[in-house]
Every structure is written in structure tokens, then in C-alpha cells.
Structure 1
């Protein structure tokens, strides 16, 4: 579980404890009134067990605060959505995962994205996307049969960036290592870097690269996507973190601002991309 999801779960347990204390109830008294075991009450308050919606209703009724039930259930559902296991998600197939995100990208007016290890999905070429999705499928032991279709589903939203319709704006920050992590091999990377060069000249896109020599004010970390200031999504090895909690959104807005300050843009960024592209081209010539 991500640090943010774990912290939210712990905070929810503290909220339940505070409701009990405000009602002047001991754990044993709450157990009698709610019908729960005293040990369960302790586990819920210390975030060692996830509450159910029924637990929330019983807790609030026993503490005399039934008006808090809708609010707490909404928060509980939000916490449950903060951590999504990839294996469970991928049972529906990669096509489903890619297709369902398209409406979100279409409705987002400002997408801020940071990646440390790969090109942001909406900027990937088809061959690069196939290489990335193939690697993911092999890691999680899922079939490779839908990779090509899933790649098409991902690329179906790329026009939102390249068309420059004035409605969708993008701010990307990537680590320099993204240019060196050769998904798909030299030819695929050369094509991918060509696309990044074109993207740097689009009026609706800001593409920044954090160079390796830049003095860092914050460490490189997990990639994340901030959709307006409504949703943040981050992908790790074994699962995906996502939330709409205002305090989390505010944190990632600040984080992105720090990362953006370390990045270089325009001609300076294109020089780094050109250098990496030339390296891949030379490798092809000598192989």
C-alpha cells in the first residue's frame, strides 16, 4: 500500500476513535451499544482492519451521530479507491484499462504529468506503447493477446495533445533517464524521440526534462498524473494509487511545482533529446 493510502486509512481510524471519545464511550461501552466485539473496535481504531459500511452505520448510531454516516461512508469509499491492485484490474484486460481512461483525458483541461522511467502514456508512439504494455503483461502474468488492441486504445487519445484544439493543455516533466530507458530497442526509441521533439514545439504543451547534472531540491520518484485539480493517479510496481482528496491533490500540485522548477524547456530540452536520438541512431548503424 502506498504511503498516502496507508496514512488515509490510519487517519480514518483516528476519526472513528474521536467520535467514540466525543460520545464519552469506552471501547467496551461502544461494543455493547453497537453489537461489535471490543477487539474489533480496537482494530478499526488502529487501522488494523478495514471497516465496512455496516460498521460505520453501527458506529455512528451507537455514538448518537447518525448524521455523520453519509460523510464517513463517502470517505471510506474514497480510501478504498486509493489503492487498486493491478492483478485485479488486469483480469478485465488491458484494453478495458486503456479504454476507460479516454473520457477522463477528454474532459481534463490541464493535465500535469511526471515520469521518471518512461515516456508519459499520451506521448508514446505505438511501437513504444506495445513494448511497455508487453513488459507489463509479462510482469503480471497476463495474456499478451490484447496488447496490440490496448495500444490502439491508448493512442486513440493522443490527438488531444497533437491537434492543439485549445481546450486541452499539458505540462509534462520527465527525468533525463526516460530518454535512455530503451523500451522496444534502438529503432523504436529513435521514433519515440522524434515524437518528443515535435511535441516540444506544440503551443498547448510544456515538456520539461530534469537533466542529470541539475542540483536537486527533491528526489526522483514514482510517476503521477494530475487531472486538473480533481484527481491524481500514480502507478507503482504492484498497484495504482488514485485519489480526489483535497489535501492529497494540494500535495501533488506542490510536488509538481518543485519538479517543474528543476526542468529545462525549449531549445535546451530539445538538445538533450537530440543527443539521445543520435546515440540510438549510431547504435543502429554499428549493430
Structure 2
């Protein structure tokens, strides 16, 4: 465990070289490469965005796996995103963060750090304010929990098997284009995170919230894991209206229940529940 004072001169690569890398030096090259990427991305976020005077790094290693935790005392990542991007709530901030390409500083950051880091690791969690976000490699559904009791700052926790076969390149390739195009062109949207509280996904306004910033990608996969059903207007707005207005964006879905799949197929067929227009005499 080591505390670092955040100053203009603090550099994430120096902390990696002096404190973290010696702890993972004996791990396989691909695993060490993932830790290099994950740690420097998340520690840089603490330096550039948290507003915290200090950052605490804790490393735990066993024969099977390694965990790294980064704690800061700043404003809180979800609160900062909500305020600076004028989002509806901190839950909304998490949903947008899960899509990728979200940043409060586009001049200096691409908004890709958390998206790719979370997918390289076995477990990636962020705890901030009253909310806890979790992404697991072996579980398709992202989790968003309301802890009820607010916490200060932000805690990022990461874990990876010491013998993982994953590589940074394999993860980047999953969300890149074809023909050698390594741009960040594909995203997977966990639709369940758009269900705030007891709200069912039924309206066009909810669909438009799900579709925010989708135009930044060429391929969009809507993951309906954890969503039992959706409304006709919600499906129609995404899979008929938006799809017809943006033919250059490939929209697909996975893990749809029979009820969700039926509503999507209905929308794609062009059927709506609107009453027919009266003919003009």
C-alpha cells in the first residue's frame, strides 16, 4: 500500500515503473501488459480528473490472481460526469460511461480508458457516492447497485488471473473495424443499466436516452441481458426510426428474451400501434 501526493509533476508511468511493475514483473508478458494499460489509465484519471490531494494504491497478489485498488478523495467520478456533462443523474453518468467515448476533457482524453480497461480484466468495479458499478468478464450483465450510504471520493478495484490468455490487442480487436482499421468503432450497450429504479423501458424518450452518442460508432450491439420486456414505442424508436435515419450504423442485439425479441421484430417490420390516418377528401 502506498499513498501518492497528486501534484502537477506526478506521472502515472513513473508510479507504474517504481511501485507497480516490480510487483507484477514475474507475471506472463500479456498479463503484465494488461496491468500496465489498466493501472496507468486509471491512475491518470485520478491525477487529471479527481481533484483529490492524494491517491492510495493497494496491490494484492496470490498464486492465482492479482488485484489493484486505487482510492482518491476527490469529488467522485459519477458526480463529476453528471455535473460537467449535464446528465440527468449519477446513474445516467454510469450508463453513458458504459458505452465508451465519454470524457469531460475531449482535448486531452479519448474517453476510451474505462471502457477498454474494464473489458481487459476479470473484474472491474467503481465505487463512488452512493453507487457501485461492476463489470465481470465471466458475466455478461453489468451491475449497478445503490448502496444507500454515500462514500467520499472514488475507489477503482481491478482483478486479473495471473495466467489469463487475454491480451490488450485481443480486446482492442473486439471493438475495432475490419480491414486493418483499429479505430474504436463498436460498442456494446448494457440496456439494463438504462432501467432506473422501477421504470420499465417503454417510451421513445427512454429510447433516445439509450441512443445518445450511438452516432459515434459504426456497430452498436444492444445487450438485453436482465431486461424482461420493452414497450412498442421504445423498440420502434431504436429499431425502425433510428435505424432508418442512420443506415450507416449497424444495430444488432443479444440476450433478448422472447418478449423483447418479438417487440424488436415487430418494430423492424414497420408495425406500430398508431391509428391509421383518415384519408383527405
On whether the aligned pair clears a TM of 0.5, the verdict is no
Report 1 or 2 for greater relative contact order, CA contacts < 8 Å, sequence distance ≥ 6.
Answer: 1
Q: Which has the higher helix share?
A: 1
TM-score if structure 1 supplies the norm length? 0.28
TM-score by length of 2: 0.29
Structure label with greater radius of gyration: 1
